[in-house]
Amino acid sequence: MKHSSRAARSKIGDRTFALSVAVSAALGPTYAQDLPHPAPTHGLAIVGAPALATGFHHLPYADPDAPKGGKLRLGLLGSFEGLNRFNDKYVRSPYFLIGAVYETLMIRSEDEPKTYYGLVAHSLEIDDARRHVTFHLDPRAHFSDGAPITSADVLFTVDLLEKKGAPPLREIFDLVKAVDAPDSLTIRFDLSGANDRELPLLLAALPVLPKHATDVERFAEATYAPPVASGPYIVSEVKPGERIVLRRDPRYWGKDLPMRRGLFNFDEIDVDYYRDGDALFEAFKGGPIDYREETNAGHWTAAYDFPALTDGRVVKDVIKPTHPVGIEGFLFNLRKEMFRDVRVREAIAMMFDFEWINANYYSGRYARTKSYFDESAFSSSGWPASDAEKRLLARFSNVVRADVMAGRWLPPTHDGTARDRQLARHAQSLLIEAGYRLTQSGLVKDGAPLHFEILVRTRDEERLALIFSESLKRIGVDARVRSPGHVQFVRRRQQFDYDVVIARWRSVAIPGSEQRVHWSEIAMEASGGFAGAAAPAVAATIDALLAAGSKEELTTAARALDRILLSGFYIVPLYHATETWTAHVAELKRPTSNPRFPMLPFGTLLDNWWFDRPR
């Protein structure tokens, strides 16, 4: 993949980021003469124009008259090992800090598939080919300690993250040819040669860290020190791994910006972490937690009969999602030799009995996930490959199965008895084709049994994995379930020390650069690349996705990528709900208009909610 080596990364740090504002001013005229000078704009969409016009007052899913005040109490499953979201340990840091504490140059509207509007940067200039982008900083922007945000802070952030940031961030900067700051409020990026139309949006989502208050030498270390940042909240209390308290910054500079009106309405947000899902649910039932999104259909059907709900202190709130659902499933680690053969992966996936599980544990509330981009226009399911897709895939022979190419492939349907013999025979025949033979002790190849471990982190995952394991025993596969506890689970997953793990990728309105993190060569090193699956066809299709300049080209590339991934059987797809189940205290209110393309239903911190009776 282009620019994946460390040598390629170093070119920016060596040649560009050392430039001071003074030096770039001296060298800038020649560079500036070569740049186009388009008119400044308030927003940028992946394709087309932003939906909101210049001068818009507030986001469609925010109520600018929402009352401020009160303490929101939230509970999350898991733990955290630091507050730095941007170094190599970022996966162990709370994601919600971005937006609430750390701010970015621009910010995405969750009512549009992929459009960014001004925040720290109030506007940008960009040419039609997206070879150059210039951000203009808001002169009012300042950090929580009062220091103004300048282009020197942006240059510092880019330099720091290119050298010591998480791999996905370093991958972004590999594509940048040059960056300079002609004055204290202007940053220019030269993107010529990248051929990546999403790259300006990734730069718009760049955090801005304070040059004067960042410990560069210790940046790679995990830290619990409350950061100096520019967001609406500051971290006021930290109990390592267990609790974070956010308090509204009374001096927050951006409270009247269009992208902030009606959002972040609570004076304080207390987030407690729970190691066990049952303990988290009991805490919600008992009162210390104000909001819950239920992800277990069995719970939703049978467990919501506690006193606080029956007497009206807690209410149930069902929302019909309008966004893609993402994908969750048993993910194979292709770094393990036994999973290198696609026939083995397909045979194992064939034994997941969704029909029996859905009927007996979830009251039939789930739908089987059949695409990496299910419930969206980018799913290939049900659509035969277009001529454009065929041209894109033409140079990669045999990477897409005929039934997937025709849009006919679906996950196997079991007969609901938990003992579907026909599918079991088909799975065994695939394993025999792959070189295994059935013996008294199970399936064996070259003297080694087909034995692996499924790594889980919650009781719900453990139950599901045990059911799957029992199904696999019927065809001679020995799959054992291991629940090591949250800390060990996170560590093993980060080190790729597993055979199979239940993984989930959040939904995206439009597939883009996150696919590089999941599937490209850098994914073999980065924490997002759990499967370890890198192939030329995948990389080429992702490149086409990022170079797409229209909705049609995006759809072509995304469906082609979906077909490649489905044909590879990298994951045993699970299921998804056709509605979002939430419950919360009766005092919590939300706008009648929900965001159409959120990554989460309302954001972890309920960004656009409020208390009608602040407490």
pLDDT at 22: 37
Distance CA 551, CA 221 (A): 41
pLDDT at 11: 38
Q: Which of 564, 559, 609 is CA-nearest to residue 588?
A: 609
Bridge partner residues of 550 (DSSP) = none
Please give the single-letter amino acid code of residue 189: F
Listed in order, strand segments (DSSP E) in 177-326 are 178-183, 186-190, 233-239, 243-248, 268-274, 291-294, 314-319
pLDDT 10s digits, 218-229: 998 888 999 999
pLDDT at 416: 86
Q: Which of 31, 70, 21, 54 is CA-nearest to residue 585?
A: 70
Q: Torsions phi, psi of 506, nearest 5?
A: -60, 155
**Is residue 410's pLDDT more than 80?**
yes
Bridge partner residues of 315 (DSSP) = 584
**Is residue 9's pLDDT more than 50?**
no
pLDDT 10s digits, 134-177: 999 999 999 999 999 999 999 999 999 999 998 888 888 989 99
Q: Which of 368, 363, 574 is CA-nearest to residue 461?
A: 574
75: its two tokens: 């509970």
Listed in order, strand segments (DSSP E) in 320-421 are 327-332, 366-368
pLDDT at 508: 80
Q: What is the pairing mode between strands 451-455 and 500-505?
A: parallel
155: its two tokens: 């240059």
What sign results for the dihedral spanned by CA atoms 279, 284, 289, 291? positive
Averaged pLDDT for residues 259-288:
94
Distance CA 112, CA 598 (A): 9
Residue 532's pLDDT band, with cuts at 50, 70 and 90, is low
Distance CA 168, CA 209 (A): 17
Q: What is the percent of the chain with per-residue pLDDT over 70, rounded to a whole number?
A: 90
With b for 16 or more beta-carbon neighbours within 10 A and e for fewer, the 148-172 pattern comes to bbbbbbbbbbbbbbbbbbbbbbbbb
149: its two tokens: 């945000």
Of residues 344 and 18, more confidence is placed in 344
**Is residue 188's pLDDT more than 70?**
yes
**Is residue 237's pLDDT more than 60?**
yes
Residue 534's pLDDT band, with cuts at 50, 70 and 90, is low
3-state secondary structure of 116: strand
**DSSP code per residue over 402-463:** HHHHTT---PPPP-SSS--HHHHHHHHHHHHHTT-EEETTEEEETTEE-EEEEE--SHHHHH
**Is residue 601's pLDDT more than 80?**
no
Side by side, the strands of the sheet bearing 448-449 are: 437-439, 442-445, 448-449
- Say how far residue 233 (Cα) sits from the centre of its chain: 22
Cα end-to-end distance, the chain, whole Å: 53
DSSP H or E run through 449:
strand 448-449
Among 19-33, 118-132, 409-423, 565-579, the least confident range: 19-33
3-state secondary structure of 148: strand
* Domains of the chain, first to last: 233-323+579-611 (3.40.190.10), 327-577 (3.10.105.10)
**Is residue 493's pLDDT more than 70?**
yes
Q: Which of 332, 87, 360 is CA-nearest to residue 217?
A: 87
Q: What is the pairing mode between strands 233-239 and 243-248?
A: antiparallel
Cβ within 8 Å of residue 33, ≥6 positions away: none
pLDDT at 19: 39
Of residues 385 and 520, more confidence is placed in 385
Q: What is the percent of the chain with per-residue pLDDT over 90, rounded to a whole number?
A: 68
pLDDT 10s digits, 366-380: 999 999 999 899 999
pLDDT at 531: 60
Q: Torsions phi, psi of 241, nearest 5?
A: 80, -10
pLDDT 10s digits, 58-107: 999 999 999 999 999 999 988 888 999 898 766 678 989 999 999 999 99
What sign results for the dihedral spanned by CA atoms 19, 21, 26, 28? positive
Please give the single-letter amino acid code of residue 242: E
pLDDT 10s digits, 338-349: 999 999 999 999
pLDDT at 461: 93
Q: Which of 384, 379, 377 is CA-nearest to residue 405?
A: 384
Distance CA 141, CA 147 (A): 9
**DSSP code per residue over 153-192:** HHHHHHHHHHHHS-HHHHHHHHT--EEEEEETTEEEEE-T
3-state secondary structure of 25: helix
pLDDT at 36: 56
How does DSSP classify residue 480?
A: E
pTM exceeding the 0.85 threshold for the entire prediction: no
Averaged pLDDT for residues 548-565:
94
Distance CA 121, CA 137 (A): 4
Bridge partner residues of 504 (DSSP) = 328
Tokens 């220019």 identify what position?
188
**Is residue 117's pLDDT more than 50?**
yes
